[in-house]
Structure 1
Amino acid sequence: MTMMKTGGAEAAIQSLPEAHSGSLRDSDGRWPERRRRVLDWLVLETRGERFIDNIFVEMCRRLAEAGMPVARATLHFRIHHPQWIGARILWRKGLTEAEIDTYAYGVEDTTQYLNSPLHEFNDGADEVRCHLDDPTADCPDYPLYDELRAEGFTDYVIWPLHHTLGKRHAITFASDRPGGFSSDDLTFLKDILPALALVSEIRLKNRLARTLLETYVGPHASEQILAGATTRGSGVTVGAAILICDLRDFTKLSDLWPRDDVIELLNGYFDAMAEPIERHGGEILKFMGDGLLAIFPLSDPCACSNLLGAIDEAQAALSKLNEDNLRKGHDPLGYGIGVHVGDVMYGNIGSRKRLDFTVIGPAVNIASRLEGLTKELKRPVLLSRAFVEKAGCAAKLENLGSYPLRGLDGEIDIFAFSGRKRS
């Protein structure tokens, strides 16, 4: 950052790698104006833009404005995500927004990928290029090249976009000008790559941090943490409907089943529970061995109804999972769910160096006790009167009467939920 203050845009640009820059400088050694405008913008004027796809679209527009015959461009990033191995950002001439595609794990084994220039690039090539409008060009028979020719493109090139610690992503450019890119065009484009690498790595790491937090603590907690809620003891009191779920006889299952089968079982169980919760606006704060803790903040007036909808869908998913288990010769899974409502402290708890973003409070304890009571009452879902009154659904549930809960003075009224009728 000191470089920016003392040397200005010219110093920032001069500090970038110059492996390809010398041949296109003016006679006095300065950058040609059109290239400097693009680089100045990349280095100095993108700090307010959070998303790399928006920066990429604007960069391509500025390249066209500078006379570059770029009609199509893509960025290919490898990403750390529980579902996706990579993402592609695609710009075409005339588009004001990028098209973004994600690629699932296993895509690298598909015929489409193996028979593509990206595979050749990922095998170690520093450049993959094809003169699409030259019938004598020695280009591999990739389906992508046929598609680009059919769309009127005349030239295509892939280069690496180098990030720190040896990480290498890919950028492609395609032209629709007869004859494709000139050598000066290619040098111009290569000259902007170091600046784009700096800009894109910052955005990619910001997105990576958000993705990792969303993956491990949930979307709402991740927003709090990224906003600066990282001090031990920091937090807020929120009203929430609380759901605690636990798998029955998991210890016995884990002793009897092979390890991989146990992991598959747990993943299937958590999918059946978690996806309906998230779909209905709940936030899963943690997985606890074979259990989970989720909240539905009462800032949403439909929180309690949404929680019931999530349980209803989860029960249907668990029934289907048990059908699959029976077909495989396994016993069906049992589970217990406890539901309560109340104020909870939502924030950072832990040691000085290791924190957990979670909820605590008497309301969480009651939900946990209700989940434990499902074993005794042989009902999979138990709800407190406080929740039922908040949800306004007492008439649709079975009142089981009053029961004492461990650690709680007195008794509370408990209701059973057995699923709502589907139309």
Structure 2
Amino acid sequence: MTSGVWSQLVGQEPAVEVLSAAAASAAKLVDGETKAAGAMTHAWLFTGPPGSGRSVSARTFAAALQCIIGVGCGECPGCRTALAGTHADVKLVVPEGLSISVAEMRALVQAAARRPTTGRWQVVIIEDADRLTEGAANALLKAVEEPPERTVFVLCAPSDHPEDISVTIRSRCRLVNLRTPSAAAIAEVLIERDGVPPERAQWAASVCGGHVGRARRLATDENARERRESVLRIPLGLRTPSDVFTCADGLIKVAEADASEESKVRDESEKSELRTAMGGDATGKGLGGAKRAAEAAVKALEKKQKSRSTRTQRNTLDLALIDLAGFYRDVLVTLSRSGASLTHPDRAGDITAAARQWSPESTLRRLEAVLECREAIEWNVKPRIAIEAMVTTLRQG
């Protein structure tokens, strides 16, 4: 396994080679060796399939750039604070709603124009950069075209193909393609880094679809395992017309519960901190205006939290739909006798039973219904409508 901060990247040896060389060149630039900076550039675009570790790679690269000795040692204050998300010169944009606004991007670009305060570089990481609105993309483009001397922009796009990022921004970035890690590499990191028992680690790695974060959740969270089981019972559980609505309702409730569980404590904490910061909980004469301002700010925060909850629900639904698509894909693999590995090897019995009941054509129609549902939700169709239409097709074939 790789050492230092690079041990965070699972199964990404080619990317580690590129990024470690760039970090070494960046360190020489800071030290005044301008002729040795060939591997470094001011704008990067990390792409790869879901679970390949785009955001982890971006934070790891930021840590290596802030490393005091320039190699990503993983031990110095620069490495540790960057990885922990507390480094003053590493700014991380994580879309909590459905898009990244122009106002948010303008504020970020303005902050990025300053020289580093405690670190070696000013690093700006934008996760899910495909969610930039047109105005936000234009604001970012100006900064990428004329970057400050010690600022690095790192963009992450959630696909194998970076076409979701505007071509003008893409043309100014160095592309780093990440790959789906192997099951063996994922199991190894679960065992060695997370202390997961070997048998469970190997199971989680085999059913996660190459998604490292999903493997960790399945290995460590009983609720995540139960949610997956409930989703994979759907294909063979659609026996009567009423099952369509029962299964659709179940999927929606799982997503809502997941979003509520993730958001509840965080939302209340944010509201309390905001009221305190604005004096909304204070008492005394003349504080009416402060309280009104605090309540207005809380309402704006609640709107942001609602958008974040919607995104969490959609992400949970999408994971469920990916699991369903994997099931129908496995049925097609079984029907074709191709010998390809199953996405859900632990459901081999159900997959074989489905292959006996369904024709290749009806299985393909079911798979297409799942993929169309994913696309419909992404285009803001109400999830319940999209899910019910999908489940109807799943039953009828």
Fold conserved (TM > 0.5)? no
TM-score, reference length from structure 1: 0.24
TM-score normalised by length of structure 2: 0.25
Which structure has the bigger radius of gyration? Answer: 1
Report the structure, 1 or 2, having the larger strand content.
1
